[in-house]
Amino acid sequence: MRAHLADGTAIEADVAVTALGAVRNTEWLAGSGLSFDAGGVDCDVDGHALEVDGQPDLAIAAAGDVARFPHPLYGRRRIAVEHWGHAVAQGVHAGRMLAGDKPDRSYAALPAFWSGQAGVTIKSVGLTDGADSMTIAHGDTAAGRFLALYGRAGRCIAAVSVDCGRWLPAYAALIAENAPFPPKGAATDRAGPLKILASGLT
Ligand SMILES: Cc1cc2nc3c(=O)[nH]c(=O)nc-3n(C[C@H](O)[C@H](O)[C@H](O)COP(=O)(O)OP(=O)(O)OC[C@H]3O[C@@H](n4cnc5c(N)ncnc54)[C@H](O)[C@@H]3O)c2cc1C
């Protein structure tokens, strides 16, 4: 197989991975006075768009893929969560806020998505980036049914299930409460202690 590139060159390849849909259309905001780039619009924790001086514009909110906001569960790192459910939930939060509703607390929904790929159901909660360790908490990778739990600096940050989504809500609760990793007393089908592995994601 050969990939022909726009510059006229070609690359021999055994496998081609196609990626699409990750480019934000932010160019129309040029001259708006808002802080943005090709990676998204900078927002405060509630989704108010920030002006270039870093001050929130209380009349403008962003939600979904385009909104980069300091997520309370992830050290207030400014991130954009690219999941369908998040776009809906953050849009509802932004809409209520702009309508004058005062939310009890900042938007902090746990990132979550599921996807069906080649007959396999993959479900994920939290964000795996920055993980320094992981463990297979349920199932068996060789059998293709398992749940991997990810840790960072001794805290649970994400879980990914492959055809094993039944257990995911319990781990979502641990991640939402920033529980210690490895979890103490968590339900698992392991006979002995959990085996801690390198995450491969650092
Ligand atoms: C291939 C692919 C597979 C995915 N699979 C999953 C999955 O399995 N699970 C999951 O949770 N998420 C998945 N996602 C991510 C999910 O689709 C996005 O997180 C979600 O659609 C984000 O919603 P949004 O409203 O923020 O943005 P979008 O859905 O991108 O909507 C933005 C809209 O704004 C319009 N627009 C852009 N510029 C302008 C302009 N200047 N004026 C007017 N309109 C404009 C665009 O045309 C578009 O309709 C997938 C994404 C892709 C690309």
CB atoms within 10 A of CB 75: 11
Number of domains in the chain: 2
Q: In this structure, are residues 49 and 41 in contact, taking their beta carbons and an 8 Å threshold?
A: yes
User: 179 or 198, which is more confident?
Assistant: 179
Angle at 131 between CA 39 and CA 187, to 5 degrees: 125
Q: What is the CATH number of the domain that holds 28?
A: 3.50.50.60
pLDDT given for residue 187 in this prediction: 63
Distance 65 CA to ligand 1 centre (A): 7
Helix (H) or strand (E) run with residue 192 in it: none
Of 83, 107, 160, which is best to mutate to test ligand 1, by the most ligand atoms within 8 angstroms of its C-beta?
83
Please tell me whether residues 67 and 144 are part of one structural domain: no
CB distance 116 to ligand 1 below 6 Å: no
Residue where one domain finishes, among candidates 66, 93, 108: 108
- In the chain, the N- to C-terminal Cα span, in Å, equals 32
What percent of the chain clears pLDDT 90, i.e. is strictly above it? 68
Task: Indicate if the pLDDT at residue 202 is higher than 70.
Answer: no
Please tell me whether residues 75 and 130 are part of one structural domain: no
CB distance 84 to ligand 1 below 6 Å: yes
Domain boundaries, position 28: 1-108
Please tell me whether residues 65 and 94 are part of one structural domain: yes
pLDDT given for residue 84 in this prediction: 92
Q: In this structure, are residues 161 and 167 in contact, taking their beta carbons and an 8 Å threshold?
A: yes
Distance 87 CA to ligand 1 centre (A): 8
pLDDT given for residue 80 in this prediction: 92
Please tell me whether residues 201 and 120 are part of one structural domain: yes
Q: Is-above-0.95 flag for pTM?
A: no
User: 82 or 202, which is more confident?
Assistant: 82
Please tell me whether residues 1 and 79 are part of one structural domain: yes
Distance 40 CA to ligand 1 centre (A): 13
Q: Average of pLDDT values for 129-148?
A: 92
